[in-house]
Amino acid sequence: MLSDLLDLFFPRQCVCCHELLLHHEKLLCDPCWQQLPKTNFAEEHNNPVISLFRGRAELHHASALYSFRPKSKIQKLIHSFKYHGNTNLAFTLGQEMGKQICKSKLFGQIDLIVPVPLHPKKQRKRGYNQAEILAAGMAEEMKVELNPEFLIRAKMNSTQTNKSAAERWDNVDGIFQLEEPKASYGKHVLIVDDVITTGSTLESCAQEILKVENNKVSVACLAWAEH
């Protein structure tokens, strides 16, 4: 009864199409969930995401749950949680990412889930780190430890938007540091981010973690920007 009253005065709408949600639907209507462009990268050895890092960082595996195109439903979802505070959506999408990885045999045993960090000034301004919320959803689904302090962003850099691949790498080169390098020995770390384009930010994170002997790094993103 309480749910019916809430729906009457505060109707729940699909984040994508804005149609009213049915009782069993959560955040998105069933048709919009089904229309999201899922990849099968978690099950593919030579998927486009892992190929992006060849010769740049030695990753164990890498994947993205969805394909990203401008003006698509995925872009609308990312804007909703990244710029409009819809953290419940980010957590739910993180759970979907975790489900995909749990089904894959290619990732192996993950010891630690680490979100790509924001600089503290940027995080204070936004109020949260969207990658950390995605990672929290994954950690709950995968039953793996989440450590948002494992990797820190030591330098403030400008936005990656509208930069070339070379400019993006220069912009993130050396900006990440391990909080406690000795405590990270022998870990298989899963780095989490929202969208992967050139991979420069994730490459910089991975290279810092791989400086520690016997570490392994895998990458999981919500979406991959098709090239």
The secondary structure of residue 144, as a DSSP letter, is -
Question: Does residue 53 lie within any of the structural domains?
Answer: yes
Question: Does residue 22 lie within any of the structural domains?
Answer: no
What is the number of structural domains in the chain? 1
Residue that the structure tokens 């979100």 belong to: 115
- The pLDDT, as a whole number, for residue 106 is 97
CATH number, position 139: 3.40.50.2020
- The pLDDT, as a whole number, for residue 162 is 52
Joined tokens for residue 127:
């109020």
Burial class (CB in 10 A: 0-12, 13-18, 19+), 217: buried
Length of the chain: 227
Classify each residue of 148-159 as buried b or exposed e, where b means 16 or more C-beta atoms within 10 Å of its C-beta. Answer: bebbbbeeebee
- The pLDDT, as a whole number, for residue 182 is 74
Tell me how far apart the alpha carbons of residues 207 and 76 are, in angstroms, rounded to a whole number.
Answer: 31
Tell me how far apart the alpha carbons of residues 92 and 95 are, in angstroms, rounded to a whole number.
Answer: 5
- CB–CB of 38/47 below 8 Å? no
Would you give per-residue pLDDT tens digits along the chain (227 residues)?
Answer: 555 545 555 689 999 999 999 989 999 999 999 999 999 999 999 999 999 999 999 999 999 999 999 999 999 999 999 999 999 999 999 999 999 999 999 999 999 999 999 988 889 999 999 999 999 999 999 999 999 999 998 876 555 455 555 555 555 667 899 988 777 789 999 999 999 999 999 999 999 999 998 999 999 999 999 87
Question: Does residue 200 lie within any of the structural domains?
Answer: yes
Q: Could you list the residue range(s) of the whole structural domain that residue 54 is in?
A: 37-225
Question: Does residue 203 lie within any of the structural domains?
Answer: yes
Q: Strand 216-225 to strand 188-196: parallel, antiparallel, or no bridges (unpaired)?
A: parallel
Question: Does residue 32 lie within any of the structural domains?
Answer: no
Entry pTM? 0.88
Question: Does residue 184 lie within any of the structural domains?
Answer: yes
- The pLDDT, as a whole number, for residue 157 is 57
How far, CA to CA in Å, does 117 sit from each of 63, 80, 104, 201? 19, 19, 26, 10
**What's the half-sphere exposure (Cβ side, CA atoms, 13 Å) at 22?**
6
Question: Does residue 1 lie within any of the structural domains?
Answer: no
The secondary structure of residue 38, as a DSSP letter, is B
Question: Does residue 12 lie within any of the structural domains?
Answer: no
